[in-house]
Structure 1
Amino acid sequence: MVKELKKEEKLSYEEFRQQRLEENRKRMESLNLPKLAQSLRTPPKPSLMIAIDVERTRRVTYGKGRCSKHRDLSNRVYASPQARASAIEKAEALESTLEEEFPTFIKPMLQSHTTGGFWLGLPVDFCKKYLPRKDETITLIDEDMDESPTNYLALKRGLSAGWRGFAIAHNLVDGDALIFQLVETRKFKVYIIRVNE
C-alpha cells in the first residue's frame, strides 16, 4: 500500500512537472524567445554593422566636435626644450615686475592646452588658496583688455568651456608661457610670452 502511494505521488509529480514544462514552452513561444535566442547566436548582417559604425562616427564627429580628423593640425608648433625654457624664463622675469598684491602663477602651454583637448589644469595649491570651491565662470582678460568667459571646474581645478576659444583667438601654441594674475575674485589678467619671439 505504501509503495502504491509513493508510485502515485511520483506519477502526480511527473505529471505536474510535464504540465509546467509545457506551460513554460508556450510562454516562451508567445514572447518569441526561441527566435530571439536564435538571432543572438547568428552574427549581425554586414549592412547592420556598417550602419552602427556610421552612427558611432556621426556621434564622434558631430556630437561634441572632438574628432581630431576634422581639425587642421598641420599648423602645430612643437617647442624645443630650449625654446620652452626661454619662454618660461621671460615669463618669470615679467612676473617679478607685477604688483605683489595680486597672486600670480605661470602656466607653460602644451599641445593639449592649445590644439588637443583644450583643457587647462591650474595649480592645485593656487586653486585651494584663491579660487572658488564650486564651479564658476572665470573671466580671462588679455593685454588688450578683451574679456573671455571660461568655465572653472572646482573639483577638477581647471578651465573647460571657453578656454578653447581663448586659446584659438590668441593663437596659443606649444611652448608659450602664460602668466595668470588674479585681479579680482573671478578674473584673471593673462600675459602671453610667445615661444617663438
Structure 2
Amino acid sequence: MAEPNSYEEQRRRQVEENKRKLDELRLHRLSTAVREAAVKPVPTEEPKLRYLRPPPPPTRRSGRVAGLPKQPDYRYSVDNTRRELPPAPVYATNEASTYAFTKAKELKNQLCSDQPSFIKPISNYSDARGPLGIPLQFREMYLPWCDETISLIDQEDVEFEMTYLAKHGAICSGWSLFSIGHKLADGDCLVFQLVQRTKFKVYIIGASSYYEQDHH
C-alpha cells in the first residue's frame, strides 16, 4: 500500500511545482509589462507654430521729395462732386407755360376725334427725366390693364419703344431717353394722340416758342 501512496504524493508535488512555475511565469510577464509601460514615453500633442508676418520695411522717402511743399489732394472732395452735378433746371415763366398750354389745346381740338388724345404739361424737372404719368381717366378707358411695350412716334415720324407699367399708370423705361433726346424742359406741353392700341403720336409745343412770337 506504500507504493500507491508514494505515487500520489509524487503526483501532488509535481502538480504544485507546475503551478508554482506557472505563477512565476505570469508574475514575470506582468512585471515586464509594467516596466515597459513606465519606460515608454506618453505621446503628447505637438504645439502649433504661429507664423508671424514680418513687419513692413520702413518707407524710404527721397530727400528731394521730402523737401518739396505739400501737394494738394485731388481725390474725392465736396468741390469735385459739385462740379460733377448736372446743371440746375431752368423753370419757364407763367406766361411761357400758359402760351404752350393754349397752343396744345388748339392742336388737340384740330386732331381727329376718332383717335383719343390728352395733353401732358411738363411742369417740373422730374416730368422730363422721371416716369411720365398718364391721366387716370384716359388710361382707364383706353390703355391695357397689364404691363406692355408701347411706342411713341415723334413729329419726325421716328418711333421709340418704351415700357408702360399699368399698376403705376406711367411710362417708365425709355421715356427719359425720349425726353433728353427731344430736350424737354419745364413749361413744355405734349399732345399724345392714340393712333393704335399701344401707339401714340406725340406733338411737342415748347414753352420757348413764346419768346419767338410777337406779343406787342
TM-score using structure 2 length: 0.57
Equivalent residue, structure 1, for 2:184: 172
Q: Deviations over 1:120-156 (max 9, x none)?
A: 1110010000000001111000000001111101010
Query: Does 2:101 align with 1:92?
Result: no
CA-atom RMSD in angstroms: 2.0
Counterpart-to-counterpart distance in 1, 2:156 and 2:85: 28
Which one of 166, 181, 185 corresponds to residue 154 of structure 1? 166
Q: Return closer, same or farther for 1:93/1:173 CA change in 2, 3 Å cut-off.
A: same
Q: How does 1:4-23 map to 2 (within 5 A)?
A: none
Q: How does 1:96-107 map to 2 (within 5 A)?
A: 96-107=109-120
By percentage of residues, which structure has more helix? 1
Counterpart-to-counterpart distance in 1, 2:111 and 2:128: 25
Counterpart-to-counterpart distance in 2, 1:71 and 1:137: 32
**Structure whose alpha-carbon radius of gyration is higher:** 2
Counterpart-to-counterpart distance in 1, 2:172 and 2:166: 11
The one-letter code sitting in structure 2 at the alignment partner of 1:124 is L
Q: Return closer, same or farther for 1:72/1:134 CA change in 2, 3 Å cut-off.
A: same
Counterpart-to-counterpart distance in 1, 2:206 and 2:159: 20
Counterpart-to-counterpart distance in 1, 2:113 and 2:84: 44
The one-letter code sitting in structure 1 at the alignment partner of 2:150 is I
Return 5+ residue gaps in structure 2 as ranges.
1-75, 210-216
Equivalent residue, structure 1, for 2:126: 112
Query: Does 2:163 align with 1:136?
Result: no
Instruction: Give the CA deviation at 1:93.
Output: 0.5
Return 5+ residue gaps in structure 1 as ranges.
1-53, 55-66
Q: Return closer, same or farther for 1:84/1:133 CA change in 2, 3 Å cut-off.
A: same
The one-letter code sitting in structure 2 at the alignment partner of 1:181 is Q
Instruction: Give the CA deviation at 1:68.
Output: 10
Counterpart-to-counterpart distance in 1, 2:181 and 2:115: 25
Counterpart-to-counterpart distance in 1, 2:200 and 2:87: 28
The one-letter code sitting in structure 2 at the alignment partner of 1:133 is W
Q: Return closer, same or farther for 1:68/1:106 CA change in 2, 3 Å cut-off.
A: farther
TM-score using structure 1 length: 0.62
Instruction: Give the CA deviation at 1:81.
Output: 1.7
SS in 1 for 2:110: coil
Counterpart-to-counterpart distance in 2, 1:179 and 1:152: 17
Instruction: Give the CA deviation at 1:80.
Output: 1.3
